[in-house]
Amino acid sequence: MYDIARYEEARTVDEAVALLAANPNARIIAGGTDVLIRIREGHQPSAELVGIRHIEELSKIELRSDGTLSIGAAATFSRISKHSLITHLVPALGEAVETVGGPQIRRVATIGGNVCNGATSADSASTLFAFDTVLQIQGPEGVRLVPIREIYRGPGKVHLGQAEVLTAILISPENYNGFGGHYIKYAMRKAMDIATLGCSVNCKVGTGNIVEKARLAFGVAAPTPIRCPGAEALVEGKPFSAALVDDFGKAAAAEINPRTSWRASREFRLHLAEELSKQALVRAFIKAGGKVQ
């Protein structure tokens, strides 16, 4: 049973903000793949919803005049994975969102919802962290820009006001030009499963086959998605080698703090972190044009 007391459909972002501000009990719904489950399970009784799915600008994927890639918060995973700008500029993101659920879910689930539910297991989150993504948020006080690493405040919790709407996910050209990226999702099934651990690596190759830049991010390695700056700094500026890859993996495992759950023990997740980070670095390095012996 879906206990929905009120539903209003917004046609513009301004209208959505106004509807939310006028009703402190109202919550946003876009694809509904998370919200409707919470309602059905009784976690959101007498739900009052503001729909944003038909706001055209929230589904757009476009390149701004300064080269920033803008992904509308209501863009579905299917749209993202197939869009030419994604496959050309940030293919690692398209590959990551292809691991979400199954085809039916990806056709309705949105990238904004994946971020705003605050789950550390969100398949897009670690890759967005690796791209140093900035979130564009609109509320009663106007528009603000927030680095994605600052939006999470705990498991299932984000720094988003009740009357605020995430409108776009922004990736600047300095964070995608020349980078190769790779995401690995480890789960108990090949599809329709939540990640036991998610690992995303972006890197850039420099003269002499060095690792010029490295970004490493994990999901399910802490209460929120995280970056591993220590492991990144360890490999930057150094020639690529098998020994460097091993050091990267060890540093990654030393930098995270996973928990034991029914899906996996802390020890197994630490083992996964070491192995997946090594695999992802090698594949990202190759995608960036590096040579692996």
First to last CA, the chain: 58
pLDDT in tens, 168-181: 999 999 999 999 99
What integer pLDDT is reported at residue 105 of this predicted model? Answer: 94
Are residues 94 and 82 part of one domain? yes
pLDDT in tens, 82-140: 999 999 999 999 999 999 999 999 999 999 999 999 999 999 999 999 999 999 999 99
Residue 292 domain flag: no
What integer pLDDT is reported at residue 190 of this predicted model? Answer: 80
Q: By the 8 A CB rule, do 122 and 111 touch?
A: no
Are residues 191 and 102 part of one domain? no
What integer pLDDT is reported at residue 192 of this predicted model? Answer: 85
Are residues 268 and 216 part of one domain? yes
Q: pLDDT grade, residue 213 (50/70/90)?
A: very high
Question: Kindly report the CA angle at 97 between 248 and 236, in degrees rounded to 5?
Answer: 20
Q: What's the Cα-to-Cα distance from 132 to each of 127, 136, 150, 214, 258, rounded to whole Å?
A: 9, 13, 11, 12, 22
Do the bridges between strand 4-9 and strand 47-51 make them parallel or antiparallel, or are there none, so unpaired? parallel
Are residues 162 and 72 part of one domain? yes
CATH number at residue 280: 3.30.390.50
Are residues 202 and 167 part of one domain? no
pTM of the model: 0.96
Q: Which of 170-184, 188-202, 229-243 has the lowest mean pLDDT?
A: 188-202
Domain count for the chain? 3
What integer pLDDT is reported at residue 189 of this predicted model? Answer: 86
CATH number at residue 120: 3.30.465.10
What integer pLDDT is reported at residue 16 of this predicted model? Answer: 98
Q: Which of 102-106, 205-209, 214-218, 249-253 has the lowest mean pLDDT?
A: 102-106
What is the helix (H) or strand (E) element at residue 285, kind and residue range? Answer: helix 266-287
Domain limits for position 243: 178-287
